[in-house]
């Protein structure tokens, strides 16, 4: 199958649309952390919530966009493939952490859907110029195409988790 720039663009947009399905969950105070304890001087880890994990997803989607935007020639496209694989690894880890959380309420899902929609709009605007440049460079598209196809498949594997946390668009 010949990978055209249009197919590459479609793969990028398809894979990013999978993330619109994350949802938000309100945390209740658990009392597990004591800010006055000796442990409070150590690195404080943020408790995973659907909202914090969605924030991490947004960062990763920005990294994906940056990787695609950075691909201007053969060398930078090959470097972008490595970055795309790294983003995929990070998103796999986020999905695994998300899968351990309780399913949020419908209201919370809608709230985070709005957050993700806003992030996706910003990413789409950021990538418009890059996609045009990619369409004009078949060599770059040939290098990035398989990486984005692999990325899309990885995201489909995580889709079951993401669907629990939001409305699929």
Tell me how far apart the alpha carbons of residues 84 and 151 are, in angstroms, rounded to a whole number: 7
Q: pTM score, two decimals?
A: 0.73
Write out the chain's pLDDT in tens, 169 residues.
444 444 444 444 444 444 444 433 333 334 444 444 444 445 567 799 999 999 999 999 999 999 999 999 999 999 999 999 999 999 999 999 999 999 999 999 998 888 989 998 988 888 887 777 777 899 999 999 999 999 999 999 999 998 888 865 4
Tell me how far apart the alpha carbons of residues 112 and 104 are, in angstroms, rounded to a whole number: 10
The domain segmentation of the chain, as residue ranges, is 5-21+48-164
């Amino acid at each position: 199958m010949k990978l055209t720039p249009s197919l590459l663009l479609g793969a990028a947009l398809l894979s990013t649309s999978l993330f619109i399905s994350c949802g938000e969950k309100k945390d209740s105070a658990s009392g597990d952390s004591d800010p006055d304890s000796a442990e409070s001087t150590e690195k404080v880890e943020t408790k995973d919530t659907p909202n914090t994990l969605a924030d991490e997803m947004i960062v990763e989607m920005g990294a994906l966009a940056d990787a695609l935007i950075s691909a201007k020639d053969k060398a930078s496209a090959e470097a972008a493939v490595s970055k795309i694989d790294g983003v995929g690894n990070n998103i796999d880890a986020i999905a695994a952490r998300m899968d351990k959380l309780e399913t949020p309420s419908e209201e919370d899902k809608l709230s985070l859907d709005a957050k993700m929609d806003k992030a996706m709009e910003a990413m789409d605007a950021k990538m418009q110029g890059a996609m045009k440049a990619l369409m004009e460079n078949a060599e770059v598209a040939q290098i990035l195409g398989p990486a984005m196809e692999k990325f899309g498949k990885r995201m489909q594997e995580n889709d079951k988790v993401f669907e629990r946390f939001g409305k699929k668009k």
